[in-house]
Structure 1
Amino acid sequence: MMIGPIVNATALLAGSVVGALLGPKLNNNLRTSLPLVFGCTSMGIGMVMIIKVKFLAPVVLAIVVGTVLGELIRFEAGIQKLAGKARTLIEKLTTPAEGISQEEFLDKFVALLVLFSMSGMGIYGSMTEGMTGDPTLLIVKAILDFFTAPIFASTMGFTVGILVIPQIIVQGLLYLSASLIIPLISPDMLADFSCCGGIILLATGFRICGIKQFPIANMLPALLLVMPLSQAWAHFLG
């Protein structure tokens, strides 16, 4: 039975609802400082994942080529467009989010999409549960998401809860396909995948903290490229 993705999705949705309902009642210092802490945590997790790298060259190639593909298909622009429509629809049914511009909202939405739906912990946790039946990693992530979501939902409103849809789709597919994927992946490929995901999480942290607006959604195609490139590198040049 698929436990982890359901628990994680429930925690994210519950945290989003709590944050949206509390809204201005949350302490201003918490609303200002905790996103910086979450961004810093994302950067820390990213660095831990990066040092696992086996072959750096295919990782760099995947990041560059993947980002070019993302830019060409305007992946991030598409996500932002959908996020804007979702915000408009939800705010017609609920109290509009205050104190946040449309530009800031879209920037944060894309960063949170990666943080909640495409993070290394979510990916590895889903694959691990699919192979072993152990949902521990995703339950830990659910705890983190439950406390992270309210802070952002307090300013962004119920729209943060929309992220539960891509989250459970990604985690569910990985869970269901883990038994097919894992036998095809070598430890070196997994290490390079970890490094690639770590670079994206590092960029996510910079974006959440407002340091630099990396095109993190456009970087996501790199996750599809890095393992085949790593395998090819190991076969021909490793």
Structure 2
Amino acid sequence: MLLGAIVNALAIVIGTTIGTWIPGIGERTKSTILQGLSLAVILIGLSMALSDTADLLIIVVSMAIGGALGEWMGIEPWLNRVGQRIESRFKTIGTGRVAQAFVTASLVFCVGSMSIVGAIQSGVQGQNDTLYVKSMLDGFTAIIFASTFGPGVYLAAVVVLVYEGAIALAARVIGMALANEAVIACLTATGGLLIVGIGLTILGVKKIAVGNLLPAMLVAAVLKGLAPHVNHALHAWWHLG
């Protein structure tokens, strides 16, 4: 049940190790790679965000509510503090970009339909093929991230393991109730907007507190899940009126 999540985390560790040991990458080359990666991240985010245009209202409301919740909870500062504390304790990591690597890589590796659907398949069906494919993609991405951001990308492997493992365990307990394609589509589209925010931040266009917007994904899933029941109640009230 957890094998897919474990393989995914190991792929990130291997990719990060390779990326941190690639010699002879100059600053200009790193900058060019980073810009190209940023554009690719934005493209991925846009493709995800536009995959569910039927739920635009839910996505907009979720971003507003989720952003307010994230600011109240202080998620972005907390994520940054985690990376900074680890960096201060392990000076050998010392690129000065551990927090950015941790936040960026974790979001890129976790946000998306492959993580959610793959983990649900692992939990409900014990089938890990989707997560195996994602592992290969994440491994190659980790090489690029590590070569530009540094070893802080290692921390994302822990986040991926916990995130996908938790979804797989929840899917095993709750069963097929989680396998709601409409909810997953809405959640993925909302996550796509967060990915776009990551790309814009990496490019230096605008620093967006993407961490504080994370609750928007949960809000979107809840609102989408409740939407049919609300519509049914409204129709019943209308006919009774």
* TM-score, normalised with respect to structure 1: 0.84
- The 3 A distance-change label for structure 1 pair 48 and 182 is farther
Secondary structure of the structure 2 residue equivalent to 1:51: helix
CA 36–156 in structure 1, closer or farther in 2 if over 3 Å, else same:
closer
Alpha carbons 1:120, 1:197 under 8 Å: kept: no
Structure 1 unmatched ranges of 5 or more: none
Please tell me whether the aligned partners of residues 90 and 158 of structure 1 are also in contact (alpha carbons under 8 angstroms).
no
Cα distance in 1, alignment partners of residues 158 and 169 from structure 2: 16
Distance 2:178 2:147 in 1: 43
- Report deviation, 1:114: 0.6
Determine the structure 1 residue equivalent to 2:21: 21
What letter corresponds to residue 32 of structure 2 in structure 1?
S
Structure 1 residue 42, shift from structure 2 partner: 2.4
In structure 2, the gaps of 5 or more residues are 233-241
Over aligned residue pairs, what C-alpha RMSD do you find? 2.4
Structure of higher CA gyration radius: 2
2:46 aligned with 1:47: yes
Q: Which residue of 2 aligns with 1:67?
A: 67
Report how far residue 230 of structure 1 moved.
1.6
Contact 1:12 1:164 (C-alpha < 8 Å) held by counterparts: yes
- Partner Cα separation in structure 1 for residue 101 and residue 153 of structure 2: 10
Question: How much does 1:184 deviate?
Answer: 4.7
Change (3 A) 1:188 1:176: same
1:190 is displaced (CA, Å) by: 2.4
Q: Provide runs of 4+ in structure 1 moved above 4 Å.
A: 27-30
Q: In the alignment, which of 120, 128, 140 is matched to residue 127 of structure 1?
A: 120
What displacement does 1:215 show? 1.2
Residues in 2 aligned to 1:221 and 1:59: alpha-carbon distance in whole angstroms: 12
Partners of 1:20 and 1:156 within 8 A in 2: no
- Label 1:18 to 1:233 Cα distance change in 2 as closer, same or farther (>3 A): same
What amino acid maps onto 1:10 in structure 2? L
Task: Please point out which of 106, 109, 132 is paired with 1:113.
Answer: 106
Pick 1 or 2: higher relative contact order, CA cutoff 8 A, min separation 6.
Answer: 1
- Matched-pair contact (CA < 8 Å) for 1:193–1:223: yes
